[in-house]
A and B are shown apart, each in its own frame.
Chain A
Amino acid sequence: MNTNDLIEDLARGLTPAAPLWRPGKRAAAWSVGAALYLAVLVVSMSAVSARAGGAGTGFWVSQIAAVVTGLLAGRAAFVSVVPGLPKGSRIWAVFAAVVWLGTLIAALPQDFDWATVLAARHEWVCVGFIVVGGAPLMVVLAVMLRRGAPLHPATTAAFAALAVGALANVGACLSLPHANSAITFAWHGGVVLALVALAALTGHFVFVWGAARSQSIVNGPAGHGT
């Protein structure tokens, strides 16, 4: 097709496309929804009061770091689907993730034994909480992100997985008691890392120009609010 004909076709078939909310606002909307969902999940599962009552400062510091990581990673994911925005948010998200892992490492007991930690079979419940419990959050986030531009599919997917993993980790820590931070570090950290790696590898299947394009041309633009 001739480029001039294409321009005429695009202009002729133009439908209104309300600008998307700014990335920070979209991330905040998703985070509020995620927090409510996880709160319901935690309360319905358990013993949050018993866990929180016996928790030390280290526990809460690492939970706060995980929450901050989730929020910043969510924002970085939303920023990555808007063309022309600076990439600083990615650095902040990575920095927060490093701090979160740092808090877990700092709280490791002196005499922990890797064999015991890795043999903690009850931690599969936490893995299930993070993966299965986090799945609806991931789906909602992916749907919201697909309304943007799939400029960097691997990066977008990795930050989305980090956001979901970090927040779901907090839910898992609050709902299921852990013997020590070594278990949290190895199991929760390992699962989140695996999710991020998997998302980075498969992101290009989810965030695709072709799909967004055909959807936009057939049904009108992807935009309208969130």
Chain B
Amino acid sequence: MRAAQQGHGASYMELLRTITPRIRQLIRRQRGFAGIAEVEDLVQDVLLSLHTVRATYDPARPFVPWLLAIVRNRLVDGARRYARIARREIYVDEEDVTFFEPATNDDNGELEDAAALHAAVRALPEGQREAIELLKLKELSLREAAEVSGTSVGALKVATHRAMATLRRTLGKRRE
């Protein structure tokens, strides 16, 4: 390592080749459940970290405790990363592709929903119904819809938001 700190690439390569199998063995022992790819990721992480902080090695002190401290730290960080990913991501095994699944192409269901939607829109209060008709059915812009209805853009946004919430509630109840 002392030679490596002086910039001798060959010594450094020899050092890394010597310690890599030991690092790998250590990681396998600590992370028995990890696959080959995960172990290699961790080994490379340790090597990169070691390379980054090689200036922190004091030639007057033993090398192994210095190396082990880095390995332990990277293992702990790796475990935290793994836990974070496991908490946020869901592994999806085999999910049906939407368009090939018969249930997604059920015309009856679509018609029934459309009728329910019309009924729900009709049942909305006047202002909310007008907002939905202008913005969602006639697909006018907010400014155009404001001119047609004679209200402000802000009021239209609020009415649309409330109408959508009401529709979601009404159609949700129907489905239940």
Contacts and interface: CB of A to CB of B under 8 A. Distances in A.
Contacts of B68: 84
Interface string A202-226: 0000000100110011000111100
A14 B16 contact: no
Contacts, number: 110
A221 B55 contact: yes
Q: Most chain-B CB neighbours within 10 Å: which of A17, A18, A22?
A: A17
A17 B54 contact: yes
Interface stretch (A40-48, A57-65, A143-151, A191-199): A143-151
B49 A149 contact: yes
Would you call the interface of chain B mostly helix, strand, loop, or mixed?
Answer: helix
B56 A223 contact: yes
B59 A19 contact: yes
Interface stretch (B40-48, B84-92, B98-106, B123-131): B40-48
Interface in B30-82: 40, 43-44, 47-49, 51-59, 61-62, 65-70, 73, 77
B12 A223 contact: no
Interface stretch (A5-13, A29-37, A100-108, A163-171): A5-13
A14 B47 CA distance: 13
A7 B73 contact: no
B25 interface: no
Interface residues of B, number: 37
Interface of A: 1, 3, 6-8, 10-12, 14-20, 22, 81-84, 147-149, 151, 209, 212-213, 216-217, 221-224
Interface of B: 4-10, 12-13, 16-17, 20, 40, 43-44, 47-49, 51-59, 61-62, 65-70, 73, 77
**Closest CB pairs A-B (n = 8):** A223-B55, A83-B69, A11-B13, A16-B7, A84-B65, A149-B53, A84-B66, A17-B55
Given A151-B69, A223-B55, 7 more contacts: A7-B13, A10-B47, A11-B16, A18-B55, A20-B55, A84-B67, A217-B48
